C-alpha cells in the first residue's frame, strides 16, 4: 500500500483516505520482495559492511541500485547462498 507521511496521520493512497498510524501494518521481513542492506544483514546474520560489498559486486544478480541505496532481492539472495559455499 503506497503511503505518504503527513504528520500524525498517513495518507492511504490505495484506500483514498486518511488512516491512523496504528492501522498501518508492517510487512514481515520474510514476506518482503526486496530488503535494505540493514534488513538483509540482520535477516541473514551477515555484517552490514559484508552485505554492502556483496551488493556492490552482484548488481543484477540479487542486488539492485535504486536512487542512492542498494536493495537485496530476498529470494534471489537465498538462491545465491544455497549455491555458494562461502561468502
DSSP string, 27-71: PPGGG-SEEEHHHHHHHHT--HHHHHHHHHHTBTTTEEEETTEEE
22 and 42 share one domain: no
38 and 77 share one domain: yes
50 and 78 share one domain: yes
Q: Which pTM value belongs to this model?
A: 0.71
Which residues span the domain enclosing 15? Answer: 1-28
Counting the structural domains of the chain, the total is 2
52 and 81 share one domain: yes
Q: Note the pLDDT of residue 5.
A: 45
* Residue 55 contacts residue 63 (beta carbons within 8 Å): yes
19 and 59 share one domain: no
Q: Walk along the chain (87 residues) in steps of 10 and give the mean pLDDT of each run.
A: 45 56 81 97 97 97 96 98 92
21 and 58 share one domain: no
Q: Note the pLDDT of residue 87.
A: 86
52 and 87 share one domain: yes
Amino acid at each position: 500500500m503506497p503511503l505518504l507521511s503527513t504528520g500524525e496521520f498517513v495518507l492511504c493512497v490505495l484506500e483514498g483516505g486518511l488512516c491512523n498510524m496504528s492501522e498501518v501494518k508492517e510487512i514481515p521481513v520474510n514476506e518482503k520482495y526486496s530488503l535494505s542492506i540493514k534488513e538483509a544483514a540482520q535477516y541473514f546474520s551477515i555484517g552490514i559492511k559484508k552485505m554492502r560489498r556483496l551488493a556492490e559486486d552482484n548488481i543484477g544478480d540479487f542486488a539492485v541500485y535504486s536512487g542512492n541505496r542498494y536493495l537485496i532481492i530476498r529470494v534471489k539472495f537465498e538462491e545465491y547462498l544455497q549455491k555458494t559455499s562461502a561468502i
